[in-house]
Structure formats: structure tokens, C-alpha cells
Amino acid sequence: MKARVTAQTINSRRLLLRPLLAEDAAALFAIYGDEESTRFWPGLPLADRAEAQAMVRADLRLQAAEEAAYWSLVLVSSGRMIGRISLFHIDGTQRRAELGFAMHGKFRRKGYMREALQALLETCFTDFKLQRMEADVDPENHASLTLLRGLGFREEGRPSGRWQKAGQRRDSLFLGLLKSEWQRLKAL
């Protein structure tokens, strides 16, 4: 059976994960235009809202073609968008996808991303019928590595010099999580 991934609304206790909308460009600029938020992102910070709008248009095209899926993280209490999660490199035949995420600096270290990823992983493994999730993380991004390891992801390799950022070659850490391991950890 081939897995099919589509952005759909997902609810958690404090968050609504909803499909990305064109109107999200301003909130995405607040995240991806911030140097600290993009410190471990291979791209440069976005220069202006026009770049954010172009990013959203490109993401929506990929989403329409079912090549990627994007969720905006919205606080239930205020309706404010505070982050984003993406699934890309989706392989429906092999039933795997790569995970990416970003959070506005003001909302970090409050457990929001952990809550959002738990809800999304449950959807990926249950509704989308994926068997494996992957992540590619800068080895110096300790917060993301701690979060992913806490969710059960395991380090699987370290390609050297995989990314270029600000004229420097950067390593990657590949992490993976199998559905069977996710289920085992949930049962504990």
C-alpha cells in the first residue's frame, strides 16, 4: 500500500496544526526573517515580506502536487501562528518522509513544538500509514536534537560538509524513527 500525505488539520491540547495558507507569509517572515531562528537553517534569513510570500507560493505549489505538506502551528488561545512544520522528500512507496520545523523565538522552550510533533507523528504513522520519519539536523542545534531524541529519533549518520552556510561547510546529523519504535515508546 502506498502512503499518501496531505496537510490536514490536527488538534492538540494547546495548538491547532492547520495547512499552510497564503496569508501566513507575514508570520513566516517573523520566523524566517530572524537571524537566530535561521541559525541552523541552510538558507539565509529572509530579507523582506516579498521573499516570505514567494516562499509560501512555492510551498503551496509543492503541497498541491503532493510533493510536500506544510502545517502552520497556531495557538488555540489566541489564534496566533507561532511556527511551522513541514514534511518533504515524501516517498509514498517506501512510506517515509523527512521532517522540518521552525518556531518563533518568543515561543521556544514552552513545549509547543514537542506537543505539535507528537500530534503530527501520530497522524503520520496512523492516518498517513508512514513507516519511517527522518530528520536532517545541524550537529550544533542542540535544542532540536534533544527534542527529536526525546521523541524517539535515533542518530543514523553524520555526513560532513553537507550544507554551506555563510561561506562555511556544515555537517548534518541524520536521524530516523520507525513506526514500530514510536509505538513501543508510546506503550511505555
pLDDT tens digits, one per residue of 32-72: 988 777 777 777 788 899 999 999 999 999 999 889 999 99
145 within domain boundaries: yes
Contact between 59 and 70 (Cβ < 8 Å) = yes
Domain for residue 1, yes or no? no
With respect to residue 142, please indicate whether it lies within any of the assigned structural domains: yes
Q: How far is CA 135 from CA 53, 59, 68, in A?
A: 25, 18, 14
Residue 19 phi, psi (nearest 5)? -55, 145
Cα–Cα distance measured from residue 81 to residue 23, given in angstroms and rounded to the nearest whole number: 11
Please name every residue paired with 82 in a beta bridge, in sequence order, or none if there are none: none
Residue 83 maps to a domain: yes
Domain count, the chain: 1
In a domain, 71, yes or no: yes
Whether 32 maps to a domain, the answer reads yes
Domain-embedded: residue 63: yes
Look up the pTM and report it. Answer: 0.93
Span of 3-7, 94-98, 134-138, 168-172 with lowest mean pLDDT:
3-7
DSSP string, 31-74: HHT-TTTTTTSSSPPP-SHHHHHHHHHHHHHHHHTTS-EEEEEE
| Residue 188, pLDDT above cutoff 90 | no
Q: Find the mean pLDDT for residues 149-170.
A: 89
CATH code of the domain in which 141 resides: 3.40.630.30
Q: How far apart are CA 42 and CA 165, in angstroms?
A: 6
Query: What residues contact 60, with CB distance under 8 A and at least 6 apart?
Result: 20, 22, 70
State pLDDT tens for residues 86-120.
999 999 999 999 999 999 989 999 999 999 999 99
The parent domain of residue 50 ranges over 10-187
β-pair partners for 164: 169
What value does the mean pLDDT of the chain take? 92
Q: Is residue 5 included in any domain, yes or no?
A: no
Amino acid present at 32: Y
